[in-house]
Structures are given as structure tokens and as C-alpha cells.
Amino acid sequence: MAIPQFENVLKKAIMACLAGIPIFAELDADQLNLISGRMHVQRLEAGDIVFNEGDPGNEVCFVVEGILDVLKLDNGRLEQKIAVKAPGGSIGEMAVIGNFSRTATVRARTDATLLTLSRDHFEQICQDHPVIGVRMLRAMARLLSLHLRDTSQELLEHLSPRN
């Protein structure tokens, strides 16, 4: 049996963490309270793999503390680092939006704490609380657009002749 006081403290801590994550910036305290009840806390040790490229994706992860490296396969081997995720960052948005497999491997560089939201819980939020769902989807679309813009710029720099 869960201890109500502990659950309340944990829920408040999760709400405080969510308030610092851009995807939840448009949500008020009542909406964050609702979301916090659907989050799962995941602890990682340095070197732990969050997920591997090609794995089925069924959750989005939000970095609360620690540093994660986002890695792509290069000639069948890992180690082409394409991004670093710090507290406030997120990984796996495409998995909950479009049921896509993982496009990269994510490994904890340091001990880390993540909050995760499953696709099922996200879909339930969208169905039962459409205002919250739309706000979260809009924020995820902005974030993915920024990633696409950055990737396009990197591709342009890579393809441009060097002087």
C-alpha cells in the first residue's frame, strides 16, 4: 500500500520538474498536476543505454538531471554523437506522436534521472483533456521544427565547399 504523504511529495517534485521543461511551458499548475500523475521516474547510471536505434518507441523521456548522449550508427557501429541532452531536454517525441521506431541510440554520460510519458498515457491525455494535448503537441512540433532547422543548417555547412 502506498503512503499518501510520500505520493504527494513525489507528485509535487514531478510537477516542479515539469515546469522547467519547454514542452510543458504553456500548462498551468492544475494541468501539470494532471500530467504528473501519468509520469514514471527512471534512474540511470553513467553508461546505461536508454534505448537503441531501431528499437520500437513507446515513450517520450524528459531529462531531470544528468547528461545524455544521442548517438547514431556509423558503418554499423555506434559513436557518431549527434546531440547532447541536459536537464530540461527531451528525447523520443516522434515515438509518441507517430509511433516511429527510435532514430538514434541514447546513452547516459552521467548518472541521470528521467521522467517518462508513455504513448498510451499521452494518447489518453489528448483524448480526455484536448486542451492539454494540443498545447503539448504544439510545443513538440516547435521543438521538432527547431531540430529540423538545425539539421538543415548542419547539412548545408557539410555540403558547402570549404574556402
Superfamily (CATH) of domain 4-159: Jelly Rolls (2.60.120.10)
Predicted local distance difference test score (pLDDT) of residue 162: 65
Integer Cα distance of 81 and 90 in angstroms:
16
Predicted local distance difference test score (pLDDT) of residue 45: 98
Nearest Cα residue to 96 out of 115, 114, 118, 116: 118
Nearest Cα residue to 70 out of 81, 56, 62: 81
Query: pTM for the whole thing?
Result: 0.86
Q: What is the mean pLDDT of each run of 10 residues along the chain (163 residues)?
A: 66 90 93 94 97 93 96 77 92 89 94 96 96 94 83 72 63
Predicted local distance difference test score (pLDDT) of residue 110: 98
The residue ranges of every structural domain in the chain are: 4-159
- Residue 53 DSSP symbol: T
